[in-house]
Structure 1
Amino acid sequence: MRKLNIPVGISDFEKIRNGGFYYIDKSGLITEILNEKAEATLITRPRRFGKTLGMSMLESFFDIRKDSKELFEGLEIAEHQALCDEWMNQYPTVFVSFRQVDGLDFTGAYDMLTMVIADLYNKHLYLLDSKSATEFQKTAFEHLAHGNGSIKEVKSSLMLLTTMMQSYYAKPVILLIDEYDVPVAKANNNGYYNEMLDVMKGLMQALKDNQALQFAVVTGCLKIAKESIFTGTNNFVSDTITNSRLNEYFGFVQSEVDLLLKDADLTMQAENIKKWYDGYHFGAFDVYCPWDVMNYLLELQRNPKAKPISYWKNTSDNAIIRSFIDYAGSTITNKLETLMAGGCIIQRVDENLTYDYLHSSEDNLWSTLYLTGYLTKAREEDYKGELPDGMVAL
């Protein structure tokens, strides 16, 4: 076995590349996003599938305040010289993650949100010296940077920041929003859903008719469409696990796991790891859960006799799933027994879920379990029956 520096729990691209950690090259994601030419791209994947690391990579590549050439040396994107010349470190870039926004009540969660916005604004204090910024903009900026902006200022904070950056650099801004749905999901679990939804809708106005934007990329676990968070966003592309062109960039595909095991001199574990961790079928790709694979390899380096376990299941409070169990009737119970016995169930999957109506139908349970990674689409060899239109074997 060869010891690798495995970056479990590190989602900072620059830290991984500068720290000598093992990195599976996902830089082709940059080319895909640029080729799409979408005004806004929403990427939904289960937790721990590399969304934040992907967004961190995008920030490193585009941010005009960075010099990232060395970080990308040897990666796939570096082979596209013309694209790198045009885009690498050429655009003002905003990267914000809402994954830490949580609280038992709205006041607590809103305080967390204002701190996230304050931290973001403090990274761009140079804008206060901009000759193109108005006094009104500077006043609102200072309020937000100190964490005491009004609710109206917080709602419009991403719009204000992108507008000021566009004026400062005389270039449109790239906006990267990670885990956009976490505040709404946490709010739904704790009873302040409507208040948090109202704030998040305001923040997402930065995606709609924003003249300061070059484009935006947004990630989350679920596509919240019925609540109109993204209504009015022009040229909006959604990339989910059911219908995707980006699946090889989130999670590990077979060729990547083969290379990883070869580099670690652990090819004898290939069958074991495949049996345990390649349970996902996204779009046309078989996908390994990266969190499980990396944690198991790390454990093998410490203890070569370690047995595989499910590391992924303990990375969340699973509140949505628990809430459904309270509603479970005999039909749901029977289907769960079928699944746990290794069988398939035939269900309609709705990607456009809405938290406030989550428990309005049984279909929503199976859709949620599928979209958040607890179930996966059956491979063709696992289910050979005819499927009615709109139905999926899970």
Structure 2
Amino acid sequence: MKKMMSCQEAAWRWGISDRRVSKLCAEGRIPGAYKEDRRWLLPEDAQRPSDLRIKDSFCLREPTLAYRAKRPLPIGVSDYCRATMNYYYIDKTLMIKNVLDELPAISLLTRPRRFGKTLNMDMLRVFFENTGEDTSVYFRDKKIWRCGEKYRRHQGRYPVIFFTFKDIKFATWEECLEIIGLLFQREFGRHMELLESDRCSDFEKAYFRKILALEAGSAELTQALSRLSKMLDDHYGVAPILIIDEYDTPVQQGHVRGYYDQVVTFMRNFFSDGLKDNTHLSYGFLTGILRVAKESIFSGLNNLNVNSILEERYGEYFGFTPDEVREMCRYYGVLEKYAEVCEWYDGYRFGNSEIFNPWSVINYFNRKCEPQAFWLSTSSNDIIGEVLEAATPEIRAKLAELMLDGTVLTTVDIGVIYPQMKKNPASVYSFLLMTGYLKIVKKEQQYNGAYIYRVALPNKEIKLAYNTEILAVMEEIVSYGVVSAIQEALYMGNGSLLQEELSQLLMRTVSFYDTASESFYHGLLLGLCAVLAGYYFISSNRESGIGRYDIQLMPRKKGMPGILIELKIAPQGSSEEQLQKLADKALRQIKSCSYETELQRQGVDKIIRYGAAFCGKQVQVKVEES
């Protein structure tokens, strides 16, 4: 079947009005166009006919960005009807086809923040919900409508229960529970017809009124989902569809604010009562950032269909695909900017789909193609701070390595939970992957059938966000003044200043047990050097000469000095004299192994070599220039 498009879509592509496209169809000037229910449909590959009207030479030119009437961008718009009618909208309605093909009982879809979860859930609500009005007008020019009657007959057929927990961000459990009660009141209030239904019992109506009056206690609120779904099923004779957006926001807030146990207990009872073996639901959809499963929130649910970023299903429906971004560039007349959009906002992979961050792409076009880290300010970084506090020295070293375009080999647990990060610091990589800070570069299946993943930072925006939200959190450990002084000492080749600042840093901030391995000191110095990434290409543990140096700073501009750092760890109880000899040995190793070969090959004239020896909180530094 030939793919068709609406007058609206053609107008976007051709830079003319919807009305003008309709007139061209009526005049028979677009081959293959036909009318369906008073709306024109055109072949998707139809070309804009030449305009036969008399124009002056200026009007004959191709319309440019300055002269075309462009649709505004839907920044912060999560209302599907508004998004499709008033803004530039990228059609994700084929997600509905996937749902109806698979018929999942309860689907849990996890994606990072600002990747279109709320808008897609509202799209499902508008498509399925029976409101008494003709809501098919919002889909007749979309891809789902071209899929045939098999799918169209589900449109507007079901009652819908819709909750969004995305704004439940309060300091206490009492405030959180109060807002949950208000959300239930609002949703019950959307179904006031149930109070007049002769198919619902007086007992059920009494409960309904209790929710409306905000008189239900915590235990009674956990029954809201099962009670409302039964009443809707009884009244309409059709089991409702459930949609819960950002279900894990209260869980995260509970963890951060200290009421984790209360919120998990409530959510466990709420979902167990409302989802487990509930025959009064047709389908259920839940979205969130993490799959909070190990606390048994979904205890006993054998009908939960989990779809994380590792799954192929629904991969292209959250975020923008390369073709969709390229079309946006074409529509707004800036096709030459596509490479820049890729550099800043591409790099994610959901299943087998390459994905751009939709929030950042929209803001990029809205800011006249001025690249910034738009995603940075969309959420609190409290959890990131906790991750770093729990990280071992080895993990901190690897986090610093990521900033320098490195990769990390790790297993991934899609069920990672907030308390787990303190007990198992290695789960930091799973958390960063699920929350959008990392991408999968490669996956390999092990002999036992499990997969191991190589992960990295996805793009330039995340490097800036990573630097601000992750490395900046380390300022609580390493003050900005100390960082600046150490960087200055490195740059100026001032070994005595470097030794003094490192000694003070270790004395003030490092516990004895943190200094057990070379990886700690390596990670500490690498993190400090990473902030110099604007001036240097920083690498670690790379081959050069006849060995592998510890840290190299390759200058980005000619005339700047190159820097090599070699670290040594002395046994506990070593004297200052022994440390000095070890620092001299590190310095000699740089020269004997010809670590400066790569710097010399790139034409770096001045090279500063550092040998640093550590023992507990003691450090000795030797420096040499050439």
Q: Same fold (TM over 0.5)?
A: yes
**For residue 204 of structure 1, what is the aligned residue in structure 2?**
271
- Which residue does the alignment assign to 2:482? none
Q: What amino acid is aligned across from residue 149 of structure 1 in structure 2? A: A
Preserved CA contact (<8 Å) 1:359 1:365: no
Report the counterpart of residue 549 of structure 2 in structure 1: none
Letter in 2 for 1:274: C
Q: Tell me the residue number matched to 1:22.
A: 88
Structure 1 position 33 matched with structure 2 position 99: yes
1:93 is matched with which residue? 160
The letter for the 2-side match of 1:79 is R
Are 1:150 and 2:217 an aligned pair?
Answer: yes
- Corresponding residue of 2:454: 393
Give the Cα separation in 1 of the matches to 2:152 and 2:342.
39
Q: What CA distance in whole angstroms lies between the structure 1 residues aligned with 2:91 and 2:176? A: 35
Q: How far is the alpha carbon of 1:386 from its aligned partner?
A: 9.5
Decide whether aligned partners of structure 1 residues 82 and 365 sit closer, same or farther in structure 2, where only a CA change above 3 A counts.
same
Deviation at 1:360, TM superposition (A): 1.2
Partner of 2:192: 125
User: Which residue is 2:287 aligned to?
Assistant: 219
Is the CA contact (8 Å cut-off) linking 1:188 and 1:355 kept in structure 2? yes
Q: Secondary structure at the match of 1:355?
A: coil
Contact 1:258 1:270 in 2 (8 A): yes
Consecutive unaligned residues in structure 1, runs of 5 or more: 301-305
1:53 maps to 2:114 = no
Pick the aligned partner of 1:42 from 81, 86, 108. Answer: 108
What CA deviation, in whole Å up to 9, does each residue of 1:271-325 have, x standing for no partner? 100000002122111110000000010111xxxxx53011112100022111112
Q: Distance in 1 between matches of 2:176 and 2:184?
A: 13
Shift of 1:387: 7.6
What do residues 234-266 of structure 1 show as CA deviations (whole Å, max 9, x unaligned)? 332111101231110000010110111111111
Structure 2: how far apart are the matches of 1:236 and 1:330?
A: 38
How far 1:142 sits from its partner (Å)? Answer: 1.1
Partner of 1:110: 177
Q: TM-score of the superposition, structure 2-length normalised?
A: 0.60
**Is the Cα–Cα contact under 8 Å of residues 100 and 151 in structure 2 kept in the other structure?**
no
Higher strand fraction (1 or 2)? 2
Q: CA deviation at 1:118?
A: 1.1
Cα distance in 1, alignment partners of residues 306 and 390 from structure 2: 30
In the alignment, the residues of structure 1 paired with residue 298 and residue 260 of structure 2 have an alpha-carbon distance, to the nearest angstrom, of 17
Give the distance between the partners of 2:199 and 2:137, measured in 1 at CA: 33
Partner of 1:189: 256
Cross-structure match for 1:327: 390
When structure 1 is superposed on structure 2, of 200-209 and 26-35 the one drifting more is 200-209
Q: 1:342 to 1:69 in 2, by over 3 A?
A: same
Q: 2:242 is paired with a residue of what secondary structure?
A: strand
CA contact (8 A) 1:29 1:246 kept: yes
Higher relative contact order (CA 8 A, sep 6+): 1
SS in 2 for 1:87: coil
Amino acid at match of 2:101: N
Percent of aligned positions with the same letter in both sequences?
A: 32
In structure 2, the partner of 1:303 is: none
Deviation per CA, 1:98-118: give whole Å up to 9, x if none.
111121111111111111111
> If the length of structure 1 is used for normalisation, what is the TM-score?
0.94
Residue 359 of structure 2 is aligned to residue 291 of structure 1 = yes
CA distance, structure 1, for counterparts of residue 363 and residue 189 of structure 2: 34
SS at match of 1:352: coil
**Root-mean-square deviation over aligned CA pairs:** 1.6
**In structure 2, distance between residues paired with 1:335 and 1:4:** 44
Question: Which region of structure 1 is more displaced relative to structure 2, 288-297 or 131-140?
Answer: 131-140
Contact 1:281–1:379, Cα closer than 8 Å, also in 2? no
Amino acid of the residue matched to residue 220 of structure 2?
A: E
CA distance in 2, matches of 1:231, 1:38: 18
Match of 1:137 in 2: 204
| Alpha-carbon distance in 2 for matches of 1:241, 1:85 | 29
What is the match of residue 405 of structure 2? 342
User: Contact (CA 8 Å) 1:39, 1:234: kept in 2 or not?
Assistant: no
Measure the CA separation in 2 of the matches of 1:154 and 1:264. 48
Paired position in structure 2 for 1:67: 134
1:267 deviates by 0.4
Q: Give the Cα separation in 2 of the matches to 1:131 and 1:331.
A: 66
Instruction: Give the corresponding residue for 2:148.
Output: 81
What is the CA distance between 1:379 and its match in structure 2? 5.3
Change in CA separation of 1:73 and 1:167 when aligned onto 2, cut-off 3 Å: same
Contact 1:63/1:91, CA 8 A, preserved across alignment: yes
Select between 49-58 and 79-88 the one with higher mean Cα deviation.
Answer: 79-88
Shift of the alpha carbon at 1:72?
0.6
Between Structure 1 and Structure 2, how many residues are aligned?
384
Residues 62, 88 of structure 1: 8 Å contact kept? yes
Alpha-carbon displacement from aligned partner over 1:334-374 (angstroms, at most 9, x marks no partner): 01111000110111111112333232112211110000101
**Amino acid in structure 1 at the alignment position of 2:121:** M
Distance 2:445 2:161 in 1: 47
Whole-angstrom CA distance in 1 between matches of 2:150 and 2:128: 11
Measured in 1, the distance between the counterparts of 2:445 and 2:148 equals 47
User: Post-superposition shift, 1:138?
Assistant: 1.2
Indicate conservation of the 8 Å contact 2:161/2:243, yes or no.
yes
- Secondary structure of 2:235's aligned partner: helix
Q: Secondary structure at the match of 2:440?
A: coil
Q: Which residue of 1 aligns with 2:246?
A: 179
Cα distance in 2 between the residues matched to 1:386 and 1:77: 36
Whole-angstrom distance in 2 between the partners of 1:108 and 1:233: 29
Report if the CA contact (8 A) 2:320-2:356 is conserved: yes
Q: Provide the residue aligned with 2:378 in structure 1.
A: 315
Contact 1:64 1:92 in 2 (8 A): yes
Within 1, Cα distance between the matches of 2:419 and 2:391?
18
Amino acid at match of 1:293: V
Contact 1:60/1:68 (CA < 8 Å) preserved in 2?
yes
Distance of 2:221 and 2:75 partners within structure 1: 33
Tell me, yes or no, if structure 1 residue 238 matches structure 2 residue 306: yes
Contact 2:111 2:435 (8 Å CA) reproduced: yes
Letter in 2 for 1:367: S
SS in 2 for 1:265: coil
Q: For the residues of structure 2 that align with 1:248 and 1:291, how far apart are their CA atoms?
A: 15
Residues of 1 paired with 2:97 and 2:395: CA distance? 43
Q: Is the 8 A contact 2:320 2:355 kept in 1?
A: yes
**What are the superposed Cα offsets for residues 50-104 of structure 1, whole Å, 9 maximum, x if unpaired?**
0000000000000011421110121100102313442000111111111111211
2:76 alignment partner in structure 1: 9
One-letter amino acid of the counterpart of residue 390, structure 1: Y
User: How many Å separate the matches in 2 of 1:15 and 1:85?
Assistant: 21
Of the two, which has the highest radius of gyration?
Answer: 2
CA distance in 2, matches of 1:307, 1:258: 17
**Is the CA contact 1:324–1:359 (under 8 Å) kept in the aligned structure 2?**
yes
